[in-house]
Amino acid sequence: MSGDDTVTVTCASCGAVADDGPPLDWSTQLSERGRGVEHVCARCSRENLRSIEARLSPEWW
Ligand SMILES: [Zn+2]
């Protein structure tokens, strides 16, 4: 055992990485492919709110 129990999470939208688990301002959402949950960083979660409203066009990025 290394004692390193940090959880690395990656933003599903922009790929930002958080080494100590998702920060409180990140959001968790169900994966569209039904493979569990994915994390979205604070900035992207705001963007996603708009994108979801607009049917999530992949071209916005
Ligand atoms: Zn992000």
State pLDDT tens for residues 2-39: 667 788 999 998 999 999 888 999 998 888 777 788 89
CA 56, 58, 59, 60 dihedral sign is positive
pLDDT of residue 37: 87
CA 16 to each of CA 9, 19, 22, 44: distance values in angstroms, whole numbers, following the listed order: 8, 10, 11, 10
- Residues whose Cβ atom is located within 5 A of ion ligand 1: 11, 13-14, 16, 41, 44
Ligand 1 centroid to residue 45 C-alpha, Å: 7
pLDDT of residue 58: 62
Closest alpha carbon to 21 in 38, 3, 9: 9
Ligand 1 centroid to residue 33 C-alpha, Å: 18
State the pTM of this model: 0.65
Spans of all domains in the chain = 9-56
